[in-house]
Structure formats: C-alpha cells, structure tokens
Amino acid sequence: MTTGQDTRAQGGTGRTRGRPRSFDRATALEKALMAFWEHGYEATSVSDLTRLMGIGAPSLYAAFGDKRTLFDEVVRVYAGSHGAFTDRALAEEPTARAGVARMLREAAAEYTDPAHPHGCLIVHAATNCTSPEVETLLRDMRNANITAIEARIRADVAAGLLPAGTDAAALARHAGAMIQGMSQQARDGARREELEALAEIAMTIWPHD
C-alpha cells in the first residue's frame, strides 16, 4: 500500500524535486546593487552575488543574464534611485546656480548616508576594472552629468542670469570635479557636515550677474 508520504515523494501533491526556489527579484537586485556599490564591478564575483542575493547561479543567469548584464541593470536602478538627485536638482531649481548648489548639498547627504555604501556607485564601480565596456559605461554617465550642467549654465547665460563671459564648460567641469571629489572623500570617511562646508565653498567661485 502506498502511503500519503510516498505519494508526496512521487510528486503527487508535494513540491517537485529540483524546482528552483522562488525569490523577490527587486530585493535580489537591490542586494546586487549594494555589492557592486561597496566593492566595485571587478571585485564582486558571481559567487559573491549569489551568496548576497540568496539565489543560485542558475537562477541569477535566468533572471538577470550574466554579471555584466546584471551590472547594467544595477546602474539603471541606481541612476533612477540613489543617484537621481543630480537630475532632479537641475530640473527643479530655477537657475543653474541653485541647481548645482542643491546638487552638492544633496551629494553631501547621499554620499555619507549610513544606510548604504558611501560615495557614488557611478564614480567608484570601475575602480581597478579590466572591462573596457564597464569603464566606458560609467565614464559616459559621468560626462553626461557634466554636459547637463553645462547646458543649464549656457541657458542661464543666454537668459541673462549669468554674465555673458561665463565659461560654461569650465564651470560645469568644476561642478563635476566637486561631485566626484566629494564621493571619494565620503569613501575616505568625510562626514556630511564636512562635505556640506565644502559645497558652500565651491559655490563661492560662481560669477554674479
């Protein structure tokens, strides 16, 4: 006679042997984001990812593709969440000066937030990276941020909100250098108050109309 336990073992009503464990994709992706943010692309291995995400390698590949494809998705998520403050500041403030000032203030807060790794993923993830594609992806994103700042400055020059002789390219690159430098200093242990003071000093070089 077959017992109920035997029936379940044969797969009648029980869980099929070898069935992949289900997982929350968004939660797993956030854990991958934190790993890449903390350790960078190169130093984060697939075994690190599967351990931190709580899934096996087959599930990782099925849900996210390979490590590079997963990283691309992580970068998109980061840009739309933790890193979105830069775009918001430029879009919501009435002037380039106000936008950059807000951007630097919010960078000081975001880069030192104890809830996640310090600094900026876009700045640090390619450290010691041997993948030209990853280096190019992150470099292009950093340069795009500087280009967006420059465009906003040029618009203010055209509108008479900044002097006609303002060097928009240099001023934008200065802002980009401040963002990137603040990220590194946050990684090195700088406190929020220290970075906020730095942001205030950075804005003193801006020309007045």
Q: What CATH number was assigned to the domain covering residues 82-203? A: 1.10.357.10
Q: Using one digit for the tens of pLDDT, what is the confidence trace for 122-138?
A: 999 988 888 899 999 99
Task: Tell which wins on pLDDT, 208 or 107.
Answer: 107
- The model's confidence at residue 14, banded by pLDDT at 50, 70 and 90, is very low
Same fold? 25-65, 82-203: no
Average pLDDT of span 135-148: 95
Say yes or no to pLDDT of 23 above 90: no
Please check whether the domain covering 25-65 is classified as CATH 3.40.50.12500.
Answer: no
Q: Using one digit for the tens of pLDDT, what is the confidence trace for 24-64?
A: 889 999 999 999 999 999 999 999 999 999 999 999 999 99
Contact present, 58 and 144 (Cβ < 8 Å): no
Average pLDDT of span 61-72: 94
Q: What is the pLDDT of residue 22?
A: 65
Domain ranges of the chain: 25-65, 82-203
The string of DSSP codes covering 43-68 is H--HHHHHHHHT--HHHHHHHH-SHH
Q: Using one digit for the tens of pLDDT, what is the confidence trace for 151-197?
A: 999 999 999 999 999 999 999 999 999 999 999 999 999 999 999 99
Long-range own/partner contacts, residues 163-172 (CB < 8 A, 24 or more apart): 163/207, 163/208, 163/209, 165/207, 166/207, 171/206, 172/146, 172/147
The pTM score is 0.85
